[in-house]
Chain A
């Protein structure tokens, strides 16, 4: 059984008499430990798919199970608790809390886990070291560059050791070198820690870091290619 299983996954919005269907009967399996890139034109449903998998949105129809849990059946609060346990989310715009230091931002999701202060400290420092920003743990987001902010955000996403790590254009707002550094970091997290990663990106170069690239168009998968094949085309 795959870690993530989508069967006929559909998300619809009603706009007056019109029905908008950003995701239209999608079937997809993602194995544990895979690094998947999600590509496609703007409006093709990438964010919608990612949000469903991350449990911050619910499908209109179809099945979605992650690690054996059918997300559609969870109540709002159960889903929140599930996210805290199993999902690390990296946003395009970092979304760090401006009034908290880097350390406190990374500590935030750990507060939802039953850990002592000392245990939290150990985890936060490990995560900050991993993203290479431990020396700036007491800086506030405004004192950091965009690339550094995104590293803190990645530390926040991995500090709970989540089952899946998702990113919605995590390098979309960064300059080339910062983007490269962030991608290298995600690659490391995958290679060293065996993290399952799903990442939306516009940039083929970024997508090339993944093992597998999915192409979405109008809410459907149009073509799937492994990284090697993709490079050969």
Chain B
């Protein structure tokens, strides 16, 4: 089949600047929308499922609290018992990788005068937490010291609290448990829930939450041990009322809980995008309808209908591809990494390769889908009638 030359499609774009502008804006909006919703879903997914992917951690938590570590209450002695009982856990310089932790969703205030409760996700930890969670990297300042009313904050903590980054700069303070706490460090733990947390020395958080002798969980790093070793330990110590779950599985199950929300977001985005496609269809109908006679002529001189549809689609895809590039640029510059808070933390919109690919494919798809019905309609008339039309 012989093709209609490419420059015919290119120059046809210039025939109706309004139509071109509509196509460009429409396609770029659809792509931005796909990137925003895709980035959201991806960001949430990555945060909840890639957590501890690189790293084999097992959480020892209270039986019955597998779905929310904040609700877990286990005895403070579990950390020491686990470290002593599970063989071959990772160990360095005499420190066994077993991190006793308290996870708490606590309201904090900006100051004593402030009335607004800010929803913080707090993690009470000892130094060993930095070994067990190597994703955490202190980028400014230092780790908080126990008994000094100090905290350190993750990169997305400000988003979680709904305050500006400057508000959590080193030296600024937060108010909770009737005391002022000073930010002494800032850390990042990209793509993990920890990025949105406020870390505080374990004993301080135990006092603040009135649970001096209890923990939420103990996180151990397997190293030479196997998951079954930890499992055997919790099953042989029924008196401790604890259970073992891989950190990865724990966050994955939380991710599943948010599955319906992700589906809803994608469906909403798809609906809005289809609205855009329908709008685009309209302008395409008008643009191609004005060319019925010309298309009749092209058939009369011997071009096949397939070749003509291909050229019209080419033209439309060309416009939507330009729109998609604009949308992709907007997405990368304005959306990638934007922090979003949600009930159990915060995460960054993640526009990675799969999301970008989806955006571009949808953008081009808008061009194809938007052009085929009008192109077919434009070819509906028999050639003699097409040649008579105006």
Q: Which residues of A contact B (CB under 8 A)?
A: 47-48, 51, 54, 56-57, 76-77, 80-81, 83-85, 87, 89, 91, 93, 95, 97-100, 104, 108-109, 111-112, 156
Tell whether A95 pairs with B293 under 8 Å between CB atoms, given A57-B382, A111-B5. Answer: yes
Instruction: Tell me if B300 counts as interface (CB < 8 A to partner A).
Output: yes
Within 8 Å by CB of B300, from A47, A81, A83, lies: A83
Neighbouring B residues of A111 by C-beta, 8 Å:
2-5
Which B residues touch A156, using CB under 8 A? 301
Chain B positions 340-390 with a Cβ under 8 Å from a chain A Cβ: 382-384, 387
A sample of 5 inter-chain contacts (CB < 8 A) reads A47-B384, A56-B384, A80-B304, A109-B302, A112-B2
Q: Tell yes or no: B206 within 8 A of A by CB.
A: no
Task: Report which of B297, B302, B304, B305 forms a contact with A95, defined as CB distance below 8 A.
Answer: B297
Also in contact, A112 and B303, with CB within 8 A (given A91-B297, A95-B294): yes
CB distance from A13 to the nearest CB of B (A): 10
Which residue of chain B lies nearest to A77 when distances are taken between CB atoms in the complex? B304
How many whole Å from B381's CB to the nearest CB in chain A? 12
Whether, in the assembled complex, B299 has its beta carbon less than 8 Å from a beta carbon of chain A, the answer is yes
For the complex formed, measure the closest distance between the CB of B286 and the CB atoms of chain A, giving whole angstroms.
17
In angstroms, Cα B294 to Cα A97, docked, is: 7
User: Residue B11 at the A interface, CB < 8 A?
Assistant: yes
Q: Is the interface of A mostly helix, strand, loop or mixed?
A: helix
Q: Which of B1-49 contact A (CB under 8 A)?
A: 2-5, 7-8, 11-12, 14-15
With A57-B382, A77-B304, A99-B15 already in contact, 4 other A-B pairs whose C-beta atoms are closer than 8 Å: A47-B384, A91-B297, A108-B301, A112-B303
Cα A56 to Cα B302 in complex, Å, equals 9
Counting chain B residues whose Cβ lies within 8 A of the other chain, the interface size class is 20 to 34
**In whole angstroms, how far apart are the Cα atoms of A57 and B381 in the complex?**
12
Beyond A57-B383, A95-B293, is A112–B11 a contact (Cβ under 8 Å)?
no
Give B298 Cβ to nearest chain A Cβ, in Å: 8
Assess the B302–A83 pair: CB atoms within 8 A.
Answer: yes
CB contacts (< 8 Å) of A89 on chain B: these are: 300-301
Contact B387 A91 (CB under 8 A): yes
- Contact A99 B302, CB 8 Å, known A56-B383, A91-B297, A111-B5: no
A23 to B99, CA, bound (A): 95
Give B contacts to A, CB under 8 Å: 2-5, 7-8, 11-12, 14-15, 293-294, 296-305, 382-384, 387
Across the interface, name the chain B residue whose C-beta is closest to A47: B384
Given A47-B384, A51-B384, does the pair A100, B11 have CB atoms closer than 8 Å?
Answer: yes
Residues of B within 8 A of A95 (CB): 293-294, 296-297, 387
Nearest residue (CB) in A for B390 is A93
B195 to chain A, nearest CB (A): 53
Q: How far is the CB of A213 from chain B (nearest CB, A)?
A: 23
Nearest-Cβ distance from residue A38 to partner chain B, whole angstroms: 15
A97 and B302 alpha carbons, distance in the complex (Å): 15
CA distance A99 to B298 in the complex (A): 14
Q: Which residues of A contact B302 (CB under 8 A)?
A: 80-81, 83-85, 87, 109, 112
Task: Return chain A residues, CB-CB under 8 Å to B15.
Answer: 98-99
- Given A91-B387, A99-B14, A112-B2, A56-B8 contact (CB < 8 Å): no
Contacts of A91 in B (CB 8 A): 297, 387
**Smallest CB separation, B34 vs chain A (Å):** 32
* Known contacts A51-B384, A81-B302, A95-B294: A100-B2 contact under CB 8 Å: no
A48 proximity list for chain B (CB < 8 A): 384
A161 to B293 alpha-carbon distance, docked (Å): 24
**Which residues of chain B come closer than 8 Å to A47, judged between CB atoms?**
384
Residues of A within 8 A of B296 (CB): 95
Nearest-neighbour CB distance to chain B for A35, whole angstroms, equals 21
CB neighbours of B304 from chain A (8 A)? 77, 80
How long is the Cα–Cα vector from A54 to B326 in the complex, in angstroms?
Answer: 47
A100's contact among B8, B293, B301, B382, by CB below 8 Å, is which?
A: B8
What residue of chain B has the Cβ atom nearest to residue A86's Cβ?
B302
State the CA gap A49–B127 with chains docked (Å).
Answer: 95
**How close is A29's CB to chain B, nearest CB, in angstroms?**
23
C-alpha spacing A83/B2, complex, angstroms: 14
Q: A84 and B384: CB pair below 8 A?
A: no
Task: Determine the residue in chain B with the shortest Cβ distance to A113.
Answer: B2
> A97 to B293, alpha carbons, bound, how many Å?
10
Closest residue on chain A to residue B383 by CB atoms = A56
Bound CA–CA A57/B14 (angstroms): 33
Complex-state Cα separation, A81 to B1, whole angstroms: 9
Task: Please give me the 3 A-B residue pairs with the lowest Cβ-Cβ distance, nearest first.
Answer: A84-B302, A99-B11, A95-B297
A81 surroundings in chain B (CB, below 8 A): 302
A57 touches B384 (CB 8 A): yes
Contacts of A84 in B (CB 8 A): 301-303
Instruction: List the B side residues contacting A85 at CB < 8 Å.
Output: 302
Using CB atoms, name the residue of chain A closest to B12.
Answer: A99
Q: How far is the CB of A224 from chain B (nearest CB, A)?
A: 25
Cα–Cα distance between A81 and B15 once the two chains are bound (Å):
29
B159 CB → nearest A CB, Å: 51
- In the complex, residue of chain A having the shortest beta-carbon distance to the beta carbon of B4: A111
- Smallest CB–CB gap between B162 and chain A, Å? 54
Choose from B2, B8, B300 the contact partner of A99 (Cβ within 8 Å). B8
Which residue on chain A has the smallest CB distance to residue B386?
A56
> Which residue among A48, A51, A80 has the maximum number of chain B CB atoms within 10 Å of its CB?
A80
Contacts of B300 in A (CB 8 A): 54, 56, 83, 89
Residues on the B chain within 8 Å of A76, using CB: 305
Q: Specify which of A83, A109, A111 lies most central, judged by the most chain B CB atoms within 10 Å of its CB.
A: A111
